[in-house]
Structure 1
């Protein structure tokens, strides 16, 4: 029986999953990644670390399922979006990749919108520091020698593809997050590229996520015990579109809430639905003739990891969550609980504010690690309330909403999210490996006849549904009002940081 490999190049780890023709997992592996923050607002990774972690994860699944590995039929890729990976003429990285949660480029965003008349209408999105295009303007201004030496700009998973195949190829869902794509027509926009001093020769050719992008190099095929075989590599997808493929969100109205390093509220659409002034992300989906929208909060599970480390509980996050749950079981403690703004690396939706900072409010002497953890979990949930309002403002209705990502393992957090949003959330089987599973499904699609799309992209069984408790939903509304007021107070009192800037035009304070 044929096997298919999905590789997800994340921010905190690289995950690999090997599945059979029915989509059942045969082996899984992961390898951690570190993020470098050498200056305020900066966030970078060495592209070589992605490749090292990917090779190690592949070797682990190969060792775990050697017989299935010998039947490998195709590879799919998923990856963190927006990261600017600059290569020289020999395909070597010129500097560390500038990641999606890097906030140094606020001034370049304003400059980009100044250079292109009606930029937001053309790009279908507002220029945000996390996107790829302003990063290139920053490099041109601050590292001109590196910019001059740049011959190719790749996104993270596409760099791994280059190492797998030797080909410079991208695909629509990830390319949509660069601010260089004509999203309606699904092709590069020469004027948007020119605004950053680039040409189409410096970006990869594009395929759909379900198409073949290239083949595993003969040297790697030999090293991985696949000598003499041409293993196709699918176009793949950005991590959120891949997660959607993994949980079957491939029809208009299908959606999910992702609790990964960042938080995402995603909905598939049958056409381009742009609302850039409200910071809605409007992108291509990973399948032809399909698009999606999403709202993004930059710190979700990463905020939980942060508070766990801060309180000395980094080695026992489940135990810390259990203490937060016990704290929240008392109504009087909930009423006097501290609030938290989860803007540890700035915020996208709805503020587009790279300078936004995290903030606790309402702390008292009786509050300990349990109260702080509860505040962080609730703060992320309240940020998602803002996200849902942005989707609804664009007339995007969620007909279903699955819960995915590593944070979805916590039933307490899942219920808190359902209560805050006032909508049911369905946690599917395999929720924590959604993007890698989606990449494996795209691998299957690239070698399957078109009529198999529906069966390959079927929704997984729902492991558990979290229904909102109306009394808790009502209880959280005034806390959400205070959450919004807290952001206004943060804007008024934040410290001046190098390279920071006030919220951009169109930001919502």
Structure 2
């Protein structure tokens, strides 16, 4: 296969789309990004005009392909997870897309809690209002006419692919993250849909795998994107699954920590765990590989919270990260970073943040340092839920929020694990491009993971011991804040532990 063969990956994110052009050896030769707004028409709501996705995708693809200087031979897609697009039979969105950060469906999560235990067990995932199942249940009640008018209820990247091919389908990595999927049966859960009053016919058919051929680029879409018509398009994958594929995180016994707006810990597993838990605090989804799964702990308060802190204290990013180099002291203040609520392990959208333990010696630098430590403790909570026995000694470290060496070292000290930073440009877009190549039979071979490693950070035992004690105190303070706060939303928010994170799920 000539080296001039190129692949296009389109990664439809929450606030921007990235188009990535890569060679068959996995080298990224061009990429472009276009932003679009997320609107909040009411408190707790998060929506995006689906037409903005299409316009931005077309602009990003045109720019990336022009930069690469070659037309792609295959296309793959990845996209933000959990949200929902209601569309007509020909794919026109009948209302703005509701995205994963939307919190309107709290009452519907309580409706899930009332379901029979066997249905909850088949879901095998924590309940969250921003997922397609609760959102669709909300729409059936509050926008019944709009719901009835829709032919399709689609995941974001599946809606975009339908615009490119005219065909409607999904695949397991996105379908399994909807809270409408029978994890044990690997298909839509029709009994659950009936219990929620949802129309199963609105859900698209599920293709067998993310690398399944899913149509050809239509002439109209080709003209819009500046591409030749007839290019084969893969089913694609949810962005987390695509990123794991793009960064070669596919082997069981490995784990990756990614810190960006939030933080995610992803651990591939070869087979579906048995027995499935009824009330897990970590996620279990299908991988973008032909077989296999991954478990995930999701932290909402990563870079988003650190950005809030630095703006509130008038600090730049360099000053914030420099505070990570200040040695910890036993009487340092604590920062509870949950200004955006939290998923793993608390499953509590109303959890809130605080600085506490302040004394007269503490200054602005101590507050900045406490913020970094607090985010690291939140990641530690999630890690303890995902790998409670410490089975995995080393983690790969990725994401734009992990580039500072002092911050990396603090994370290693807090987590007590070796961190191996990896540099994989545009991992989700690259993973999508990989799927395009696999769907068309161009290649199954991509560079090994070791080629991406740049360095490592080993935990320092004397620092880890102090952080271990401070983390225990941090958890007590989180529990005290939750116990004193009467604003917790929904019964599901209290189902997670207040003190120690659960090892289930």
Question: Would you identify which runs of 4 or more consecutive aligned residues in structure 1 move more than 6 Å?
Answer: none
Q: Secondary structure at the match of 1:453?
A: coil
Q: Kindly tell me: are residues 364 and 47 of structure 1, through their superposed partners in 2, closer, same or farther at Cα, counting changes over 3 Å? A: farther
**What residue number does 1:415 align with?**
409
| Mapped contact 2:310–2:320 kept (Cα < 8 A) | no
- For residues 227-282 of structure 1, the C-alpha deviation after alignment (integer angstroms, 9 at most, x for no partner) is 3x421111221111111101111121222111122211111011112445241211
**What residue number does 2:212 align with?**
211
Q: How many angstroms does 1:502 deviate by?
A: 5.3
**What residue number does 2:308 align with?**
306
Equivalence map 1:109-508=2 (5 Å): 109-207=109-207, 208-227=209-228, 229-273=229-273, 274-313=276-315, 316-317=316-317, 319-325=318-324, 328-331=325-328, 334-363=329-358, 370-393=365-388, 397-398=391-392, 401-430=395-424, 433-448=426-441, 452-453=443-444, 455=446, 458=449, 460-494=451-485, 496=487, 500-501=489-490, 503-504=492-493, 506-508=495-497
Q: How many angstroms does 1:400 deviate by?
A: 5.0
| Mapped contact 2:258–2:399 kept (Cα < 8 A) | yes
| Mapped contact 1:272–1:283 kept (Cα < 8 A) | no
Q: How many angstroms does 1:61 deviate by?
A: 0.7
Find the aligned partners of 2:359 and 2:40 in 1 and give their Cα distance: 32
Q: Secondary structure at the match of 2:196?
A: coil
Q: Kindly tell me: are residues 472 and 400 of structure 1, through their superposed partners in 2, closer, same or farther at Cα, counting changes over 3 Å? A: closer
Find the aligned partners of 1:108 and 1:174 in 2 and give their Cα distance: 20
Q: Kindly tell me: are residues 282 and 464 of structure 1, through their superposed partners in 2, closer, same or farther at Cα, counting changes over 3 Å? A: same
- Gap regions ≥5 residues in structure 1: none
Find the aligned partners of 1:442 and 1:420 in 2 and give their Cα distance: 36
Matching of residue 49 in structure 1 with residue 46 in structure 2: no
* TM-score normalised by structure 1 residue count: 0.89
* TM-score normalised by structure 2 residue count: 0.90
Q: How many angstroms does 1:481 deviate by?
A: 1.4
Q: Secondary structure at the match of 2:385?
A: helix
| Mapped contact 1:267–1:396 kept (Cα < 8 A) | no
Find the aligned partners of 1:446 and 1:456 in 2 and give their Cα distance: 18
- For residues 111-161 of structure 1, the C-alpha deviation after alignment (integer angstroms, 9 at most, x for no partner) is 123234422211112322232211112222222222222321111222221
Equivalence map 1:52-71=2 (5 Å): 52-66=55-69, 68=70, 70=71
**What residue number does 2:503 align with?**
none
Find the aligned partners of 2:108 and 2:341 in 1 and give their Cα distance: 16
Q: How many angstroms does 1:483 deviate by?
A: 1.8
**What residue number does 2:501 align with?**
none
Q: How many angstroms does 1:35 deviate by?
A: 2.7
**What residue number does 1:10 align with?**
13
Q: Kindly tell me: are residues 166 and 297 of structure 1, through their superposed partners in 2, closer, same or farther at Cα, counting changes over 3 Å? A: same
- Answer with 35-44 or 116-125: which moved more: 35-44
Q: Kindly tell me: are residues 288 and 481 of structure 1, through their superposed partners in 2, closer, same or farther at Cα, counting changes over 3 Å? A: same
- For residues 21-68 of structure 1, the C-alpha deviation after alignment (integer angstroms, 9 at most, x for no partner) is 1111111122233333343333332222222222221122122122x2
| Matching residue within 33, 37, 46 for 2:36 | 33
- Gap regions ≥5 residues in structure 2: 499-505
CA RMSD across the alignment: 2.4
Find the aligned partners of 1:254 and 1:454 in 2 and give their Cα distance: 20
Find the aligned partners of 2:320 and 2:469 in 1 and give their Cα distance: 24
Find the aligned partners of 1:251 and 1:378 in 2 and give their Cα distance: 30
| Matching residue within 15, 22, 27 for 1:24 | 27
Find the aligned partners of 1:503 and 1:193 in 2 and give their Cα distance: 20
- For residues 470-506 of structure 1, the C-alpha deviation after alignment (integer angstroms, 9 at most, x for no partner) is 2221111122112212222222333648xx3355353
Q: Secondary structure at the match of 2:382?
A: helix
Q: Kindly tell me: are residues 88 and 310 of structure 1, through their superposed partners in 2, closer, same or farther at Cα, counting changes over 3 Å? A: farther
Q: How many angstroms does 1:408 deviate by?
A: 2.3
- For residues 269-314 of structure 1, the C-alpha deviation after alignment (integer angstroms, 9 at most, x for no partner) is 111124452412111111122111111111212222222333344x
Find the aligned partners of 1:490 and 1:39 in 2 and give their Cα distance: 27
Q: How many angstroms does 1:410 deviate by?
A: 2.5
| Mapped contact 1:103–1:345 kept (Cα < 8 A) | no
